[in-house]
Structure 1
Amino acid sequence: MSAYDERPWLALYDPEVPAEISREHDSVLEMFTAALCRAPDAPVIKYFDGVITMSELDELSGALAVALAERGFAAGDRLALFLQNVPQFVIAALAAWKAGGIVVPANPMYRERELSTVLADSGAKVVVCLDSLHSVVEGARPGTPVEHVITTSELEHQTRHDERIFGSGQRARPEGPLDMAELIEQHRGQQPDPVHPGPDDVAMLPYTSGTTGPPKGSENTHGNVVFNAQVYRDWMPVREGDAIYGVAPLFHITGLIGHLAVALLVPVPLVLTYRFDPVVAAEAIAEHGVTFTIGSITVFIAWSNTPEVTREQLAGLRSVYSGGAPIPQAAIRAFQDKFGHYIHNGYGLTETNSPSHAVPFSREAPVDPASGAVAVGVPVPSTVVRIVGEDDQELPVGEIGEIVTEGPQVAIGYWNKPEETAHAMPGGRFHTGDVGFMDADGWFYIVDRKKDQINASGYKVWPREVEDVLYEHEAVREAAVVGAVDPYRGETVKAFVSLKPDASASEEELIEFCKQRLAAYKYPRAIEIRDELPKTVTGKILRRQLRET
């Protein structure tokens, strides 16, 4: 038995956390129904001054599911959600599951070309989007299987109309698409014919840039989702009487599991504020008695650096976790000094349904003296993680290699990509592409990234995609994109370009060119123009050499 099979990290667990977790439900629907029966009147969404109970969520999602079924949406069909953190995200996701479908969460910062790729690859039949994003959907729709577009407004389900978030507070409803509220009213009181997805049926297809090339849909099953919802509940922990602040985007795997799924499981209120504003978020935490949140470290840095956010506003927080990007030790200390709360690390990927590792609630993560890296935690229950070398053989404790995860949270594959599935998940063991080591006590540290992927505030950016856009500019001859250290975002996108003979373009012009064609987190924040880019003898541009500069 290897050091990893012995699971030394179990000695670090809190006493109430078991070494193994048995999945309590076969599907997200079954999980929701059980919670509904236990607590029909429990609030499950709080949105400014609006409250939705479990029974109301059941009614709203049931009506929408009937509307979807009437329009030909059937078991196995895909429904794309192109929304910010609004109650309609939860309503529509549950409606899709009730209709037997699969949820495709899409980043609302996508532009037409990015959204089109996801819609075409997933084969989404229906898109639910905000009014303000309808034009993007229509631009992305040609050539995709999308049959229906349903729009909704962030102004619904609340009456406060906070100008700091909503501006004028006036709805600008587009002409043409179906309206979500009207569909629900037409079918209020109705429920679709029951469906019974199993634990191995796909519940959601969150897209990841992955290791190479275009985005890949991660086939996250109902069993995956239920298991990691229980991990959150038992580890963080989240109990009845608690409340969750939904600061992570709901389209992101952290928001999908650490906010939406665990709120439906317990059930507890999920507090949403449309988008993150440090002051508004702090006010919501105080107003709604929030006890738990998990988000990117940039959220906690923003709170630390906003004088208007007070210790009293965040006093009710009991459990604070961060995932999606490396956590600088200085940021942990600054937040703790100002608010008195320790930020626990967590680590996972889209393909592991959020956490595969987390710092036990009662502990603080050690820091690797050599690299200064804060431990990302220890493997969660029923999970074995190994460090392997280039030959895929286990490495001794303390040696650096690739992190490979095996457990009930690992997705079953990539949508319609059997070769990539076989490469990344042979035998159900997910090769993360992240490089790190395990110490003798079972703490895991990430010290490098095997792949060139850039991690900006928890958002993953594949350099080739940005390079492809740069190459579309008529003046660009060569382009290489790397991750540059950024004190706020962790990493930011930097590009190096050389120009064609007799062509001219300024750095500002090239940045604006990318800004118009890429999501906000993807476009380069800095561009350096050089006469030549470094290359190998075969002509391959040396990204690593550029990164080191």
Structure 2
Amino acid sequence: MSSYDDRPWLAVYGDQPADYAIEFESALDMFRTGVERDPSGVALRYFDGTITRRELDELTDGLASGLLANGFAPGDRLAVYLQNVPQFVIAMVATWKAGGVMVSINPMSRQRELSYLVTDSGATVLLALESLYDQVAREVVPDTDVRLVLTTSELDFQTRNDERLFAGVTRQRHEGTVDLLELIDRHRGQTPPPVGLRSDDVAFLTYTSGTTGVPKGAMNTHRNVVFTAQVYRDWVRAGRDGAIFGIAPLFHITGLIGHVAVSLLVPAPLVLAYRFEPQVVLDAFVEHRPASTIGAITAFTALLNAPGCSRDHFASFTSVYSGGAAISPTAEQAFLAATGKQVHSAYGLTETTSPMTVTPLGATSPVDPTSGALSVGVPAPNTVVRIQDDEGRDLPLGEIGEIVAAGPQIVAGYWGKPEETAASLPGGALKSGDVGFLNPEGWVFIVDRKKDMINASGYKVWPREVEDVLAEHPAVRESAVVGVPDEKRGETVKAFVSLKAGAAVTEDDLIAHCKERMAAYKYPRSVELVDELPKTVTGKILRRELRG
């Protein structure tokens, strides 16, 4: 079978339908149905605090009414500048109830970045942690369209105040701001007027990382959100066996869909722990016994390397997925050996509203015999993934090219950027910027990012292949491979490597390890040992920072 339109991957789904109905007009309808199904069930757990679905409905009614009373109008944007706290979910749902669009902002953003995101989105309301307002936002807000600043604390909705996370944190009140919970209390018991959200309306703006120019606001619609939440429920089984653990940052598309949206759909409890701290997360696993999660493989590696990590910490999980970056077969096997659980692969981008491809729960991702790469799954339902050359022509199955996807999860475009939309989303299909291939059964394999390809003496070297070989060495915890200038070869291969605790190995040992296993033009000519590799808050390794 050689046609993408024949969708050979459908066989992987077994008896599931080829065409997959989207169940709700909007994500708000999805939330309301979940409340009706289980009003007394727990919606959110945050350390020792809980919020039921009925309470979440009441809190969001109060906030939506408060927003409208302060001039917020349908179509307006509310920017959320928070860690993984219940207020994030409250703000998301309340924004929809007020007919608006949520803008999710990385809490690691500093003044220049925050200023750009708030200005570009045209947000009129900003919700920030008190500490982030004090340290960053207070200098930004006066030069933006923000008319209302809401602040809140990570100490709210729980009483444990874990010193590992909250040491030195105190409540702060800032002039010109309004406390979130006080605003909700002033409007508690009020019901906002009905809003007619449609499937094509924008649910939230999620900003790309800006690795190739300035960040762009992807317009994730309500159709996108509902569809991908269903994919997580039905093919990942998120929430169907118990609580979902929010290991990924909620501002990121993985957290927005793989944690929040699917928890609203099922409905299922969502467990939050402020931010990723391995020991705190492991303790929360034991306390709350969640059934599913999805996160970057780097986060799972950090958990496995945390003191005292054991199989018991993962005993309750029935669904564990890795997204955000392709994982190596070595990492997959290491997780299985340490936890007794299979980590499944999924793949998506901000512009695909999380999953573009997914390994159905219980299926085993194949390993490509030539490259040694582990598949990132098959195209999600209603999704067609193609491999194309630089001129946009389809390549035969098995050939390497750019991954291009079309389906209900593809965003409507980039906020205020029609030229960028036309370039990256021609005809509504996404040109991912990732290089890979499909095998004849329709399994997708990622080779690397197009921009990360190394040209060594005219030969193409894909960093991920070298990283996978390095991962096979027992001393290696993580690695990142980049191209560096070389007078003779144009570029040559350099590896940055962090080691496992207590491991000892030399740079020459690692070079020899690769040289024995790779073609002469591929193996790294230099290795630099580092304590930690630079990463985004979502756990992706930042190769660009290593190029210097």
Could you list the per-position Cα deviations for residues 93-151 of structure 1 after superposition, in whole angstroms to 9, with x for gaps in the alignment?
A: 11111000001000000000001111110000001010110031122224321111110
Deviation at 1:180, TM superposition (A): 0.3
1:176 corresponds in structure 2 to: 176
In the TM superposition, what are the counterparts of 1:497-516 in structure 2 within 5 Å?
none
2:486 corresponds in structure 1 to: none
In the TM superposition, what are the counterparts of 1:114-513 in structure 2 within 5 Å?
114-135=113-134, 136-168=136-168, 170-209=170-209, 212-452=212-452
Deviation at 1:523, TM superposition (A): 11
Deviation at 1:211, TM superposition (A): 6.6
Return the alpha-carbon distance in structure 1 between the equivalents of residues 279 and 333 of structure 2.
Answer: 21
Return the alpha-carbon distance in structure 2 between the equivalents of residues 326 and 269 of structure 1.
Answer: 28
2:40 corresponds in structure 1 to: 41
Return the alpha-carbon distance in structure 2 between the equivalents of residues 279 and 420 of structure 1.
Answer: 42
Deviation at 1:196, TM superposition (A): 1.4
Counterpart of 2:29, as a letter, is: E
Deviation at 1:410, TM superposition (A): 0.4
In the TM superposition, what are the counterparts of 1:70-89 in structure 2 within 5 Å?
70-89=69-88
Return the alpha-carbon distance in structure 2 between the equivalents of residues 200 and 427 of structure 1.
Answer: 16
Could you list the per-position Cα deviations for residues 508-532 of structure 1 after superposition, in whole angstroms to 9, with x for gaps in the alignment?
A: xxxxxxx9xx99989989989xxxx
Deviation at 1:409, TM superposition (A): 0.4
Could you list the per-position Cα deviations for residues 375-416 of structure 1 after superposition, in whole angstroms to 9, with x for gaps in the alignment?
A: 111001110100011121110111000100000000010001
Could you list the per-position Cα deviations for residues 167-186 of structure 1 after superposition, in whole angstroms to 9, with x for gaps in the alignment?
A: 24532343431100110111
Would you say the 8 A contact 1:26–1:223 is kept in 2? yes
Deviation at 1:287, TM superposition (A): 1.8
Return the alpha-carbon distance in structure 1 between the equivalents of residues 285 and 499 of structure 2.
Answer: 23
CA RMSD of aligned residues (A): 2.7
Return the alpha-carbon distance in structure 1 between the equivalents of residues 132 and 369 of structure 2.
Answer: 47
Q: Provide structure 1 residue ranges, at least 5 long, that are not aligned to the other structure.
A: 457-462, 464-479, 490-514, 529-545
Q: 1:140 to 1:519 in 2, by over 3 A?
A: farther
SS in 2 for 1:218: strand
Q: 1:318 to 1:119 in 2, by over 3 A?
A: same
Return the alpha-carbon distance in structure 1 between the equivalents of residues 269 and 279 of structure 2.
Answer: 20
Return the alpha-carbon distance in structure 2 between the equivalents of residues 322 and 527 of structure 1.
Answer: 23
Q: 1:410 to 1:487 in 2, by over 3 A?
A: farther
Of 291-300 and 329-338, deviating more is 329-338
Deviation at 1:212, TM superposition (A): 3.3
1:507 corresponds in structure 2 to: none
Extract structure 1 runs of 4+ deviating beyond 4 A.
Answer: 452-456, 482-489, 518-528
Identity %: 54
Deviation at 1:333, TM superposition (A): 1.5
Would you say the 8 A contact 1:248–1:255 is kept in 2? yes
Return the alpha-carbon distance in structure 1 between the equivalents of residues 273 and 295 of structure 2.
Answer: 14
Deviation at 1:35, TM superposition (A): 1.1
1:460 corresponds in structure 2 to: none
Deviation at 1:241, TM superposition (A): 5.0
Of 322-331 and 78-87, deviating more is 322-331
Q: Provide structure 2 residue ranges, at least 5 long, that are not aligned to the other structure.
A: 454-462, 468-481, 483-490, 501-533
1:31 corresponds in structure 2 to: 30
Deviation at 1:308, TM superposition (A): 1.4
Could you list the per-position Cα deviations for residues 275-314 of structure 1 after superposition, in whole angstroms to 9, with x for gaps in the alignment?
A: 1122221221222220000001111101211231221121
2:96 corresponds in structure 1 to: 97
Deviation at 1:359, TM superposition (A): 1.1
Counterpart of 2:125, as a letter, is: V
Would you say the 8 A contact 1:14–1:360 is kept in 2? no
Would you say the 8 A contact 1:14–1:361 is kept in 2? no
Would you say the 8 A contact 1:163–1:169 is kept in 2? no
Question: What TM-score does the superposition give when structure 2 sets the normalisation length?
Answer: 0.83
Return the alpha-carbon distance in structure 2 between the equivalents of residues 451 and 178 of structure 1.
Answer: 44
Return the alpha-carbon distance in structure 2 between the equivalents of residues 176 and 159 of structure 1.
Answer: 27
Q: 1:522 to 1:124 in 2, by over 3 A?
A: farther
Would you say the 8 A contact 1:109–1:520 is kept in 2? no
SS in 2 for 1:5: helix
2:474 corresponds in structure 1 to: none
Would you say the 8 A contact 2:27–2:222 is kept in 1? yes
SS in 2 for 1:268: coil
Of 378-387 and 131-140, deviating more is 131-140
Could you list the per-position Cα deviations for residues 497-517 of structure 1 after superposition, in whole angstroms to 9, with x for gaps in the alignment?
A: xxxxxxxxxxxxxxxxxx9xx
Would you say the 8 A contact 1:110–1:519 is kept in 2? no
Would you say the 8 A contact 2:296–2:538 is kept in 1? no
Return the alpha-carbon distance in structure 1 between the equivalents of residues 284 and 20 of structure 2.
Answer: 33
Would you say the 8 A contact 1:367–1:374 is kept in 2? yes
Deviation at 1:209, TM superposition (A): 3.3
Of 323-332 and 414-423, deviating more is 323-332
Q: 1:402 to 1:486 in 2, by over 3 A?
A: farther
Asked if residue 12 in structure 1 is aligned to residue 12 in structure 2, the reply is yes
Return the alpha-carbon distance in structure 2 between the equivalents of residues 265 and 426 of structure 1.
Answer: 31
Of 443-452 and 20-29, deviating more is 443-452
Return the alpha-carbon distance in structure 2 between the equivalents of residues 251 and 120 of structure 1.
Answer: 18
Would you say the 8 A contact 1:14–1:362 is kept in 2? no
Deviation at 1:325, TM superposition (A): 1.4
Would you say the 8 A contact 2:150–2:180 is kept in 1? yes
Q: 1:296 to 1:81 in 2, by over 3 A?
A: same
Q: 1:152 to 1:396 in 2, by over 3 A?
A: same
Would you say the 8 A contact 1:40–1:54 is kept in 2? yes
Question: What TM-score does the superposition give when structure 1 sets the normalisation length?
Answer: 0.82
Q: 1:3 to 1:519 in 2, by over 3 A?
A: closer
